Structure 1
Amino acid sequence: MMAVETLTRVRGLRLASVDFGGEGRPVLALHGHFGRARAFAPLAAALAPEYRLIALEQRGHGHSDRGDGDFSQDAYVADAAEFLRGLGLGPVIVLGHSMGGVTAFHLAARHPELVRALVVEEGGALNRQPEVPHPVLDIRDWPCRAATLGELRRQIEARGIPDASYFLESAVEHPDGWGLLFDYTDMMDSQQALVGDWWADWLGSTCPALFVHGLDSLILPTTMARQMAERRPNTVLRELPGCGHWAHDDDPAGFTRAVREFLATV
């Protein structure tokens, strides 16, 4: 299986994506804030050959254009919808993590003809205080450049991040040192735009859905995850013990097993 990276013109933007290949059933994967399409490589390998995973690098992330600075859910959803139409694969399974999960269930509610089933990992229907104590990660004082990749890691972790590996997926070497691909102001704006009440969209679709929650998550309360599963028909909740907000990294085998078992029923 050979991954193919492409740049596609979508709504006037160049959006990067990674098609992990194969002849299996298509799955569109949407990363969360600060993420990259290539982060889905382990999941793509684990789901092959039954499933062909295509990961979209959303606006302002990775090598995708930032556009006009609109980082609303409307913009993210419209991008994903147009990208899917361009693929011409019919309704697909849509999988999303965190912000990508919220985009996924918005997409299902607004464009049901494009979504066969949902897999949402840690994407909450309510993202605001006091229910979510820290809905926005303040990155405004993060380093713009560092002499080495290790120094970039050290400086980010010195700002309260226990393990910067997730963010360093976006690290590249520039002529003046190592830095991250995303713009800090853009990411602050995008996070602020995600603060809100998204219950109507979570409940606005009827396709089969899997909700994956890390029981040690500091982002999504367990009570909310259970309410989301209880209130939406055709929804299965899988709770992963010992996992946080990035459950797919904390327990790759458990996450893949949960996804596989669900997809077998779709």
Structure 2
Amino acid sequence: MEHFTSHDLHLSDVRLHLYRGGHGPAVVLVHGLTDHARYWAPLARALAGEYDVIAYDARGHGLSDPSPNGYHLDLLAADLAALVEALGLMRPAVIGHSMGASTAAIAAATHPGMFRCVILEDPPWRSALPADMPDVTTTRATWREDLLAMKTMDDAALLARCRAESPGWSDEDYALWMESKKAVNPDALDVLPSFVRLWPEDVRRIDCPLLILTGEPERGALFDPGAEQIVRQVRPDVQVVRIPGAGHQVRREGFVAYLNAVKRFLKDAA
């Protein structure tokens, strides 16, 4: 991430790697499972002119250490809160994608007053699990096998796979996707069982403005209309923006609309 400084942050049991750049109110970026901090590069650059942007590698991802104490969303949320405190950030905004969205939501729910606002990109919340959905153990094993296979692929083959699965991304996004898969520790997938939780209770306890950015379920977005209805019941003031043409990777598939919504919300929450 050019023009960003690179740091290590030592928490009680793990070393996290982070990038920081820009000037203004703080914004913390929290990536998804098997991604890394640099995956945020296009958004980080777009915000750095007005904000102090911090993006970090979660434990087991990117350049951060593997976890000596396993992987669980509650542990990742504790890492986020510890990072905010260690850096002396005063009520930063937080933006999280997928696993990072759950991390941000839990951190905000368990640390009232810590965040100025919360922005969640396609959180992995559903109104109900599909009847044909494999159990978590099967999902984790399949994903791990796939991840290990990707680590042995040469760059040309991996790029061809990503282009086939996600046509229309930028060359930078393809490169960052490949880089993140090569860097992640497969044990990080052990976080998956903790995704099954009473997430509406987390939403109810968030005490600051909340924006959810998502895509179309038929294109792979996880946050379905039923989940949106549940969120609106517990947080009537929530803002939900569903970006046409985007799936789970909302900012990669609808970047302009995504960025406009983020900037508008950050200004309103200032």
Same fold (TM over 0.5): yes
Supply the distance in 2 between the matched residues of 1:148 and 1:14 (Cα, whole angstroms). Answer: 29
Q: 1:49 matched to which residue of 2?
A: 49
Map residues 77-156 of structure 1 onto 2, 5 A cutoff: 77-126=77-126, 129-130=129-130, 133=133, 136=139, 138-142=142-146, 143=149, 145-146=151-152, 148-153=154-159
Cα offset for 1:167? 3.9
Inter-partner Cα distance in structure 2 for 1:128 and 1:197: 12
1:120–1:211 Cα contact (<8 Å) kept = yes
Assess, with a 3 A threshold, how the Cα gap between structure 1 residues 237 and 86 changes in structure 2: closer, same or farther: same
Distance 2:22 2:46 in 1: 12
| Root mean square deviation, CA, Å | 2.6
Q: Per the alignment, do residues 113 and 218 of structure 1 end up closer, same or farther by CA in structure 2, a change over 3 Å counting?
A: closer
- Matched residue, 2:190: 189
User: Is it true that 1:212 corresponds to 2:216 in the alignment?
Assistant: no
Q: Could you say if the C-alpha distance between residues 56 and 147 of structure 1 is closer, same or farther in structure 2, counting changes exceeding 3 Å?
A: closer
Once the two structures are superposed, the pairs formed by residues 58-77 of structure 1 within 5 Å of their partners are: 58-77=58-77
Contact 1:125 1:197 in 2 (8 A): no
* Structure 2: distance between partners of 1:129 and 1:226: 15
- Relative contact order (C-alpha < 8 Å, sep 6+): which is higher? 2
- 1:196 and 1:48, CA in 2 relative to 1: closer, same or farther beyond 3 A? same
Aligned pairs, number? 253
Given the alignment, which residue of 238, 241, 245 partners 2:244?
Answer: 241
- Classify 1:241/1:152 alpha carbon distance in 2 versus 1 (closer, same or farther; 3 Å): closer
Q: Following TM superposition, where does structure 1 have runs of at least 4 consecutive aligned residues deviating by more than 6 angstroms? A: none
Q: Which residue does the alignment assign to 2:6?
A: 5
State how far apart, in whole Å, the 1-side matches of 2:241 and 2:162 are.
30
3-state DSSP of counterpart to 1:114: coil
Give per-residue Cα distances to partners, 1:169-225, cap 9 Å, x unaligned.
Answer: 325xxxxxxxx22222x1331122223331111111220011111123342323313
Q: From the two aligned structures, give the one with the greater helix fraction.
A: 2
- Give the 3 Å change call, closer, same or farther, for CA 145–247 of structure 1 in structure 2: closer
CA distance in 2, matches of 1:23, 1:205: 26
| 1:35 counterpart letter in structure 2 | D
CA contact (8 A) 1:98 1:121 kept: yes
Match of 2:170 in 1: none
Q: CA deviation at 1:113?
A: 2.6
Q: How many Å apart are 1:69 and its aligned residue?
A: 4.2
Residue 16 in structure 1 maps to residue 14 in structure 2: no
Alpha-carbon separation, structure 1, partners of 2:71 and 2:127: 16
Structure 1 counterpart of 2:197, one-letter code: G
Q: Which amino acid aligns with 2:143?
A: I
| Unpaired stretches in structure 1, ≥5 consecutive residues | 172-179
Q: Alpha carbons of 1:116 and 1:140: their partners in 2 closer, same or farther (altered >3 Å)?
A: same
- Alpha-carbon distance in structure 2 between the residues aligned to 1:150 and 1:127: 39
Q: Which residue of structure 2 lines up, in the alignment, with residue 175 of structure 1?
A: none
Question: How far off is 1:128 after superposition?
Answer: 6.6
Length-normalised TM-score, structure 2: 0.84
Give the letter aligned to residue 10 of structure 1.
Answer: L
